[in-house]
A and B are shown apart, each in its own frame.
Chain A
Amino acid sequence: MSRTVKIMPCLDMQKGRVVKGVHFVDIRDAGDPVACARAYCEAGADELALLDITATVEGRRTLVDVVKRVAEVTTVPFTVGGGISDVASARAVLDAGADKVSTSSAAFRKPQLIADLVKEFGFDRVTVAIDVDVNRSLPSGYEVYIDGGRTPTGVDAIEWAKRADGYGVGCILPTSKAGDGAKTGYDLPLIQGIAQAVSAPVVASGGAGTLEHFREAVDAGATILLAASVFHFGMIRIPELKDYLRTRGVSVA
């Protein structure tokens, strides 16, 4: 079990291009996922996430090609999410060189997929992502959303996290819909609720805007800290973030 907190920049991709460019280093093509992945590795990222937000058949082939090219350049493990709907689509990106897959809507619709993925590829390679929004009528106050955050399910997010965790997955990755891109801080009660309910490591995602936000997520129980905007736009640099966390007593690589 990992004791060191990991910093995980996320590349949001559409049609094989990074939607938000990396602005913190001088790279010629900020939309090129390979250039972005290299830049993040060189900046000291511990892991990378590639999230494909186009889920078309054509997009799938593009994604596999991107994964192949990113696999060649990364010096850290990387997780691929978006459109992992069955064992075959997971196999395609893992064979292309991804270290892990992340599944969300498909896993919710058919939880057996989680068991199949864990059996086929090993728990370390399977992350279950959960899009979450506040719903006060549910016991935990949080509801699962699917289809890229568009469809509410009526299911309590903590209950779903527990069930997913029961399959023995490698990570649980809840993303706060309200927090995503808002830079107002991670949803700490959500992270805490899930971290206390599951045995898998929890990835904090959605809302990081300041150095303090990252530390708060660690205090709430996250061991992997994912962010996109603050890294993309150079608001926070990874070495600076690691120095900050270190001085606050957090173990980072």
Chain B
Amino acid sequence: MVAIIDYRAGNLTSVRLALEHLGVACAITQDPARILAAERVIFPGDGAAAEAMRNLRELALLDTLRTAVDRSTPFLGICLGTQVIFDYSEEDGGTPCAGLMPGTVRRFQPADPLCKIPQMGWNTMALKRPHPLFEGIEDESEFYFIHSYYPAPADPAHVMGETEYAEARFASAVGRGSLFATQFHPERSGRIGLRLLRNFTRWDGTC
């Protein structure tokens, strides 16, 4: 069973339906016991970092996330979920985050005034290193992004895929052990996104 963590951060139904389409049992849940009993965990989210962290604290889910990662449960972060696993985000005047992945989350600051923030649309990802989640996914495939901030891992070894936008070349996919996270929305990226989700549902958490 895949637990989709519900921390009041946006639409989780498309993630659930994508998994159901793949024939994978899943549940949207806030319950730490159910999350820790799951074979795999998906940590999605839309919105702002400070509110996400507030919700995670209120729901007592921060320890749950850490425990899942410590136990090497295959863990997939998506969009805001990916951002809040880092140490710190520049959003909302600076927000300390969950600290599951060393690094920070930065705001796009293009000099070109015509460059629009948020990035909202298709963009390509260059694969930086092989990973089980990339099986069947070609270099420079396109994924769907909606974001104003981007992950900047402290350790370049954690960068799995890179994307260019707004004069930045940023980590659009990061990985460390059983933890994998994407800035784009695989559940909104059509066939290629479903492929990545399918790879996740078959991944044992090793690389």
For A41, A125, A170, the residue with the greatest tally of chain B CB atoms inside 10 Å of its CB is: A41
A139 to chain B, nearest CB (A): 29
Cross-chain contact B142 with A253 (CB below 8 angstroms): yes
Interface-lining segment among B14-22, B47-55, B93-101: B14-22
* Bound-state Cα–Cα, A57 to B13, Å: 29
Is A59 at the interface (CB under 8 A from chain B)? no
Is A74 at the interface (CB under 8 A from chain B)? yes
Is B111 at the interface (CB under 8 A from chain A)? no
Question: Which residue from chain A places its CB closest to the CB of B194 in the assembled complex?
Answer: A75
Cross-chain contact B17 with A72 (CB below 8 angstroms): yes
What 7 A-B pairs are tightest by C-beta distance, nearest first?
A72-B13, A124-B120, A124-B121, A122-B116, A76-B190, A2-B122, A46-B190
Residues of B within 8 A of A159 (CB): none
Name the contact of B188 in the complex, choosing from A74, A122, A123, A125 (C-beta under 8 A).
A74
Question: Which residue from chain B places its CB closest to the CB of A2 in the assembled complex?
Answer: B122
Residues of A within 8 A of B194 (CB): 75
Is B175 at the interface (CB under 8 A from chain A)? no
Residues of A within 8 A of B119 (CB): 124
Is B189 at the interface (CB under 8 A from chain A)? yes
Is B191 at the interface (CB under 8 A from chain A)? yes
A-side interface size class: 20 to 34
Is B141 at the interface (CB under 8 A from chain A)? yes
Is B192 at the interface (CB under 8 A from chain A)? yes
Is A86 at the interface (CB under 8 A from chain B)? no
Is A38 at the interface (CB under 8 A from chain B)? yes
* Bound-state Cα–Cα, A46 to B121, Å: 12
Is B118 at the interface (CB under 8 A from chain A)? yes
Is A112 at the interface (CB under 8 A from chain B)? no
* Bound-state Cα–Cα, A3 to B21, Å: 28
Given contacts A71-B11, A253-B142, contact A76 B120 (CB under 8 A): no
Interface string of A1-14 (1 = CB under 8 A from B): 01110100000000
Cross-chain contact A122 with B190 (CB below 8 angstroms): no
Residues of A within 8 A of B123 (CB): 2
For A168, A170, A253, the residue with the greatest tally of chain B CB atoms inside 10 Å of its CB is: A253
* Bound-state Cα–Cα, A151 to B173, Å: 49
* Bound-state Cα–Cα, A170 to B11, Å: 24
Given contacts A2-B142, A97-B11, A123-B116, contact A75 B122 (CB under 8 A): no
Residues of B within 8 A of A38 (CB): 17
Residues of A within 8 A of B193 (CB): 75
* Bound-state Cα–Cα, A71 to B193, Å: 16
The tally of residues in B whose CB lies under 8 Å from a CB in A reads 28
Residues of B within 8 A of A46 (CB): 190-191
Is B33 at the interface (CB under 8 A from chain A)? no
Given contacts A72-B17, A97-B11, contact A122 B120 (CB under 8 A): yes
* Bound-state Cα–Cα, A45 to B122, Å: 14
Q: List 16 A-B contacts (CB under 8 A).
A: A2-B142, A41-B190, A46-B190, A46-B191, A47-B190, A73-B13, A73-B14, A74-B14, A75-B193, A76-B188, A76-B190, A77-B122, A99-B120, A125-B120, A253-B142, A253-B190
Cross-chain contact A75 with B21 (CB below 8 angstroms): yes
Question: Which residue from chain B places its CB closest to the CB of A99 in the assembled complex?
Answer: B120
Question: Which residue from chain A places its CB closest to the CB of B140 in the assembled complex?
Answer: A3
* Bound-state Cα–Cα, A142 to B147, Å: 39
Given contacts A73-B14, A253-B141, contact A170 B190 (CB under 8 A): no
Question: Which residue from chain A places its CB closest to the CB of B122 in the assembled complex?
Answer: A2
Cross-chain contact B144 with A77 (CB below 8 angstroms): yes
Cross-chain contact A72 with B11 (CB below 8 angstroms): yes
B148 to chain A, nearest CB (A): 10
Is A219 at the interface (CB under 8 A from chain B)? no
A35 to chain B, nearest CB (A): 12
Cross-chain contact B17 with A73 (CB below 8 angstroms): yes
A44 to chain B, nearest CB (A): 5
